[in-house]
Each structure stands twice: as C-alpha cells, then as structure tokens.
Structure 1
Amino acid sequence: MTAGVRLSGFVDGKRVSAFQYGTVVLCGLVMFFDGFDTQAINYLAPHIAKDWGLKVAVLGPIFSSALVGLMVGYLVLSPLSDRFGHRRLVIAGTALFALTSLVSVWVGGVAELVVLRLITGIGLGAAAPSAVALTAEYTPKRLRASFVLAIYCGFSLGFVVAGVVSGWLVPTAGWRSVFLVGALAPMVIIPLMLKFLPESLVFLVGRGANAERAYRLCRRIDPALPSEPQPVTVDAAEAGGRVKLKALLANGGVLSTVLLWVVFAVNLGEFYALQSWLPTMLTDLGFANGTVVTATSLTTVGGIVVALVVGPAMDRLGAFGSLGALFVVGAVFLAVTGPAFHAPVWLLLAAMFLVGCGVSGGQKALIALAAVVYPVNIRSTGVGWALGIGRLGGILGPLVVGAAVAADWSPAAIFLALSGPMLVCAVLILYLGRRARQTAEVAEREPAPAV
C-alpha cells in the first residue's frame, strides 16, 4: 500500500502546531489592518469636511466608496484564488490597499478621495476572504469557528485602534497622518507574509500542481511524517476547479444561500450604519470627543468580547443555534438603548458595549458560519460572495440611517428601528439551521475518489 497524506481530515485529528498558529496570526494581522483602514475614514471624514468646507451630505459617498470597492473585491477578485492561490491574493490585496492609503496622504479633493477609497476597498476585498479561507483550512474542524472568529477579532481591534490613533494624531498632526499610518503598517507585514505565509494545501495539490511543496507544509503540521516526500491526495470533490455562482447556490440549496446573503446584508448594513453615523449622532447630542470615540469603539469591543463565548459555543453547541441566540439578544439590546442617550455617560458606554455584542459580534459569527458551512473547494468564493452581497447592505445602511438623521430622527428612534431587522436575522438563522439538519445526510456520503 502506498504511503502518503490524504488532505481530507488531515488537520482535524492533530494538535495545532506552532506553524498553524503562525499562519492564523498573519491572517489576523491582515484582518487587523483591514479593520483599521475601513474604520479610520469614519473618524477622519468630519475633519476632512471641516477642512474642505463640505456639507454633511457629502460624507455619505465618502463612507460608501470603500464599501463599494469591498463588494467588487469580494465578488470579482476572491474567486481568483482558484487560479492564483489564497496566499497570492492575500499579499497582493494587502499591497494594494497599503499603496492607495499612502497615496491618500496627498489627496486634494472629494472626487480623488472617493476613487482612492474605492480602490482601497478592492484591495481589502481581495485579501479578506482568502485570509479567512487559509485560517479555516489550516485549523481543525473542532476549532474552526473559534479560529475564524479570532482573526475577525483582529478586524475589530483594527476598528478600535483606528479610533485611538485618530484621536491621538488628528489634533496634533492632522487627518492625513492617519492615512500614513494605515499605509506603512501593512507594508511591514508584507515581507513576513512572503516568507512565512503558506499556500492552500488543496490549491497546491489540485490547481497549483506542486504536491511536493504541499507535503513539506504537511510535515510542518505533523513532524512525525517521513522526511522523504510522499504522495499527497485530495478528494476530487475538494480539488476545485473554477468556482461558479451555481456551485455556491447548489451548496445547501438556492434558498439557503440566498437567505444567508440576506442575513449578511442586514447585519453589515446595521454594523456600518452604526460605525458611520454614531460619532455624528453623539457629537450632535453634545458629548465630548473622547466620549464619542470611546462609545463608538465599545460597539466593536463588545463584538470582540462576545466572540470569546460565541466561538466555542458554535464549535460545541452548534453554529446556527448559537448565532440565532446572539441575534435575539442583539435585537433586545438595540431596542432598549434609547434612554441611555440621555443617561449618565457610564450607562451610555455600557449600552454601546452591549449593542456591539449583538451587531459586531454577529458579524464575526456570520463569517465563522460561512467558513464552517462552505466546503474547502469553494470556501474563499463562498465567503467572498457572502461578504460581497452583504456589502450591498453595508452600502445602503449608512445611506438609510443618514436619511433618518437628516429627517431629524432621534438616536433612540433609530436604534429602535434597527432592532426589527436584527430580530428577522435571528429567525432566518434558526430556519437555516433547521434546513441544515434536514439535509445533514448529504455530508455522510461515501468519500469521493482521491486525485
């Protein structure tokens, strides 16, 4: 019998090695800089508007341009991982958004800024799905949701650090200095990724046609393997090929995929609406700048903290039930937040933290759900399309809430209105879980032939 490595389930029965942890850390750093760059503009936009004498209405396109770019990156570029590999897309996407952030330091007008933010978003959208896919592929199934949530905590930490850095640098060095930090920091990790970030094993064995390199990576996961190169095989169903939209729709059914996209769109719409307009709403209520930054950051910190609970819950108790419960709790927190806007500051901050547990935590958990649900051969494209379709909500959310702000809706009324869609998301997730249980026998099919 020929010795070798069969990739299907290879990492599932083994302890997580230092090599795997290093891969997750690098992917987490990519997500950190993604979050920093995505959120920084929300803190800078009011200062840019004041500096250039712009009206508040102009902020909407500035907020949304990077989200449009993200959608393009997710929908158009993430499927290219099948041709070029996840590693190349992560590195190329990081280089692109670092370069455009650097050019933004010298931006001179709204049109230029919108275009640069659009291109920055494309780079971010190319890197993130492949970072998620690499993390999921190099971690055991029993820990997959927790590890994906962990790198998305890097995304949220980037949001928090963007607020801290903006609050520190803008008063002393101006808003352009934040773009400079957002450019130079990711440039530092590009050499590290070139040296240490591994390629997808499935890609190397299938489309990449480099099984010897794949075996060397397998030995870094399991040093007990023989030092002499051995055959590496992957199930034909996982080997991939060009991933088309119909493959995503066939995975679990058209209805399930579309409903998952709806939940992504609603959740991301609420998330980006809060991140974009909460600073403006709190400023209009007369809160000090320090309180505004802290409150906005706490909506993200809440998502990070709850990830420590919901990740293990998804791995051990079930992904759909855990996420559905989180959305129910999030809807309740949104609905009862109104009085906190006229309460002592500590109560406002506590309310923003709890809102973040549902909205920001729900965003991370959705990414983990997609990484768990989609099989390895379509994981990057599946996550990319879910995020891409979700960005339709991310684009519309700030515009809809901006219209409510312009119509003199109170923050309490806006938060109450946002609780309804969150509750709908909870119902949809629980329904998707029931459908998944009904079709679970599909996963019990006999193993496909190896290639």
Structure 2
Amino acid sequence: MSPTTQSLSLPEFIDDRRTSLFQYAAIALCGLVMFLDGFDTQSINYLAPHIAKEWGLSKQLLGPIFSAALVGLMVGYLVLSPLSDRFGHKRLIIAGTTVFGVCTLVSVWSGNVSELMVLRFVTGVGLGAAAPSAIALTAEYSPKRFRASFVLAIYCGFSLGFVVAGLVSGWLIPSHGWRSVFVAGAIAPLVLVPLMIRWLPESLAFLIGRGAAPLRAYQLCRRIDRGLPADARPEFHVPSAPAGKRVRIRVLLTREWVLRTLLLWLVFAINLGEFYALQSWLPSMLTDLHYSASAVVSATTMTTVGGIAIALLVGPAMDRLGAFGSLAVLYVAGFVFLAATAPALHAPVWVLLVAAFLVGCGVSGGQKSLIALAAVFYPADVRSTGVGWALGIGRVGGILGPLVVGAALSAGWSAGTVFYALAVPMLASALVVVYLGRRARREAGALPEPAEARS
C-alpha cells in the first residue's frame, strides 16, 4: 500500500497549533546566540582601560579597537546575512557563532593593536552573520499570535548580555586579568555550537524551497505536531519559497517594496542613532551636571533595564493589537519621556532615575520592538536579508547619532536642550510607522510578495 499524502500549508501549520517544546528549544537557542552577541559587543568596553594600561596605549588608539567590531557587524549584516537564503539559517548561525567564538579565543594571545583590531573586525562579521538569521528563524518557528513577543524576547537576550558582560568583567579582571574575559566569551559560543548542530532546526521554508529535503522538513513538522503520521508522503504549500539562491538586495527595492523598505531603514537609523547617542553621552552629561559616579552608573543602567521591562508589555501588544500601532504608541511615549527628561536633569536623583528608566522604555524598548516589526514586515523567504539590511543601514544612524550630539554639546548646547532635540526624531518615527501601518491595512493586512525573481 502506497503511503497517504499529508498536505501541509505554511505558515498556517505553525500558526494554527500550540507552541511545542521543540519550538521553545529552538527559540531559546536563538536567544542564547543573541545573548552572546550582546556579551561580546559590550565586554570590550570593560577591557579597554586594562588593555591600554598594559600596552601603554593612548585613549585615541582605543577608538579603532571599539570601532573594528562595529564595522565588522555592519559587513556581516549587509553582506553575509543574505547568504542564509542560499545556505540556510541554521548553517549561517552555526558558522557565524563559530567564527566569533574562535576569534574571541585567539584574541587572548593578541599582542598589539593591529592584531586585536583584525580579530575584533572578524568577530563582528561573525556576529553580524548570525544575528539576522537567529531573528528570522525565531520568527519562522513562532506562531503569528506570539511572533513579536518571541522576537522581542530573544533580543532582550542581547541587552542581558550587556549586563552580564559588566558583572563577569568585574568578577574576572581583578583576579585573572582582562584576557580571562575573552576566554569566557569564547568558551560559551564554542560550547553552544555542538548543541545547535544537534538541536537547532533548519528553516522549513528553506528546506521546502530547495526541493531537496521535503522529508526532512516533514520530520521537523512531526516534532511540532506528534499527531502527524510517520509514513505519509508530504505535500507542502507555501506562498513563496526560496529556490536555494541568494536573495539580492534589489528584491527589497522593487516598485512594491522600495518606499516601505526605505522608510523602515529611516526608522532604524533614527532609533539606533538615539540609542547610541544616549549610551555614549549620557554618562558625560550627567557627570558635567555634578551627579555622583554611582548616580551616573545607575541612570545609564536604568535605560537598559527600561528597554527590557517594556518588552514584556510591547511584545504581547504587538501580537494582539497590531505591530504598527503598538510601536507608534511606544515612539510617541518616547517623545514625551525624552522631552520630560530635560527638566528632570536638575531634579532629585530618584526623579532622574525614573526619567532614565522611561527613556529606556521608549528608546531601547523601541529598538527591540522595531526589530520585531521587521521580522513580521518581510515574508519568510526574504526575512533574513530584510532584517540584516535594516540593521546594517541602521548602524549608519548609530554612528552619526553620537557625532551629532557631540557636535551639539561642543557648540554650547545644554544637556536639557539636547534632550528636547532628541525627542523630535522619535515623533517623526511614530508618524512613519503609522503610515506604514495604514498602507499595510489598505493591502488587506498582508504585504505583497516581491515582484522580481531572484537571480
């Protein structure tokens, strides 16, 4: 007797079922990748003073070390993330994690600035290759009703990595030196790699689109729904599946997509510019206002805590009430909170800490929520490319933001005036997101597939 045919439609298969333990495990592995990304990105900031002291470096030479990984991140986002549509999300996550783990380990034996810069650059490339695929894979294995929440959850791992980097550095450096932090930052991803080889699933859309592994895709579906028959012949129906070829950036810039893509990039650039401007200049501005060192550290930390806390509310809101509307409301709140921080700069410390927490909700929380929006903005077959390029273009804003604020402070602007100025772009971002949401609703709540075939 020939096996029966089992017809499955994606993404309805995942959307219509309860989230399985298998899916939670896959999402948790992606969250660990994001956590290690945040740990590695932030830890170098704690190591730099000790590296400078041991090597006799000036502060000017620390800048290239900081920038090397950020440039590598941009290269990974823009150049390597589209490769996942050709080779699969799982392969790119594992390859990227292996690269940044090995390079971090080799950094233990670096002996000069040039060696460390090269290693930090390649480390950044690995991080930039892995992160978009981790986000895309999380989105694909998440039911639509929880998709934004799960993407927000794994990106909170990035922020938790920032926090843990400070704790681990404070614990290891006094006893074991700065190189011990590199060892810890290398061992963790290298231990994670074999776990991902064994447990991380490949993208279903990728396996089906290649046409070479439908049975493998069906076995993954059976791990989601144990009720599927083991001996059935699978027949998959997907809206648009990749054919094993690399998705070109021009697919995101066709007539149907170009305006929306450019507007999404604009919001990414604004949000990341605000985020890095605050991270770079808030400690200096508060120090100039004669706050104590503990108050400066606490206020800066509260911006990160606010971003993590608000994600617990915004994720479910995006899933249940709509991604565009929820993010627009958050940006309007960010506009209000940034403007309200200007007078709070001269208030008691507890008022400043509350203001910093609320600013973190709008700016850091907005950044996480925007990534969740990007994950539902693009269909599965171009999601990694779309998210990767949005993050890469957003880095341009991340570079310009601190420069613009630095120029304003050098021109004699007060800290309060800077916060009033920072509020305005958040309101502009809210208006752009509202426009994107209205356009999506006009098109029956679903974005059209890219019109251009892949080369």
Taking structure 2 as the reference length, the TM-score comes to 0.90
CA contact (8 A) 1:262 1:390 kept: yes
CA contact (8 A) 1:266 1:422 kept: yes
Q: Give the equivalent residue in structure 2 for 1:152.
A: 155
Instruction: Kindly indicate whether residue 369 of structure 2 is the aligned counterpart of residue 365 of structure 1.
Output: yes
Q: Give the equivalent residue in structure 2 for 1:141.
A: 144
- Cα separation, partners in 2 of 1:242 and 1:46, compared to 1, 3 Å: same
1:407-446 mapped onto 2 (5 Å cutoff): 409-440=413-444
Mapped partners of 1:2, 1:398: distance in 2 = 58
CA contact (8 A) 1:202 1:234 kept: no
Q: Give the equivalent residue in structure 2 for 1:301.
A: 305
Mapped partners of 1:11, 1:39: distance in 2 = 35
Mapped partners of 2:417, 2:165: distance in 1 = 28
Mapped partners of 1:60, 1:40: distance in 2 = 15
Q: Give the equivalent residue in structure 2 for 1:214.
A: 217
Mapped partners of 1:106, 1:288: distance in 2 = 37
Aligned equivalent of 1:122, options 101, 122, 125: 125
| Structure 2 counterpart of 1:433, one-letter code | G
Mapped partners of 1:174, 1:207: distance in 2 = 49
Q: Give the equivalent residue in structure 2 for 1:314.
A: 318
Instruction: Kindly indicate whether residue 259 of structure 2 is the aligned counterpart of residue 267 of structure 1.
Output: no
- Deviation track 1:398-435 (CA, whole Å, cap 9, x = no partner) reads 33334445556544343333222222111111121122
- Deviation track 1:187-206 (CA, whole Å, cap 9, x = no partner) reads 22112111110101111112
Greater displacement, 172-181 / 323-332: 172-181
Q: Give the equivalent residue in structure 2 for 1:385.
A: 389
Mapped partners of 1:76, 1:294: distance in 2 = 37
- Cα separation, partners in 2 of 1:262 and 1:120, compared to 1, 3 Å: same
CA contact (8 A) 2:86 2:247 kept: no
CA contact (8 A) 1:7 1:232 kept: no
Mapped partners of 1:38, 1:251: distance in 2 = 36
| Structure 2 counterpart of 1:177, one-letter code | S
Aligned equivalent of 2:230, options 227, 231, 235: 227
Greater displacement, 268-277 / 56-65: 56-65
Q: Give the equivalent residue in structure 2 for 1:448.
A: none
Q: CA deviation at 1:72?
A: 0.7
CA contact (8 A) 1:28 1:154 kept: yes
Instruction: Kindly indicate whether residue 352 of structure 2 is the aligned counterpart of residue 352 of structure 1.
Output: no
Q: CA deviation at 1:298?
A: 2.0
Greater displacement, 211-220 / 185-194: 185-194
| Structure 2 counterpart of 1:388, one-letter code | G
Q: Give the equivalent residue in structure 1 for 2:248.
A: 244
- Cα separation, partners in 2 of 1:134 and 1:45, compared to 1, 3 Å: same
CA contact (8 A) 1:338 1:411 kept: yes
CA contact (8 A) 1:60 1:399 kept: no
What count of residue pairs does the alignment treat as equivalent? 445
| Structure 2 counterpart of 1:312, one-letter code | P
CA contact (8 A) 1:75 1:388 kept: yes
- Deviation track 1:148-181 (CA, whole Å, cap 9, x = no partner) reads 1111111111112122223333444443333332
Aligned equivalent of 1:44, options 39, 43, 47: 47
| Structure 2 counterpart of 1:387, one-letter code | L
Q: CA deviation at 1:45?
A: 3.5
CA contact (8 A) 1:326 1:362 kept: yes
Taking structure 1 as the reference length, the TM-score comes to 0.91
- What's the Cα RMSD here? 2.5
CA contact (8 A) 1:205 1:234 kept: no
Greater displacement, 65-74 / 160-169: 160-169
SS at match of 2:195: helix
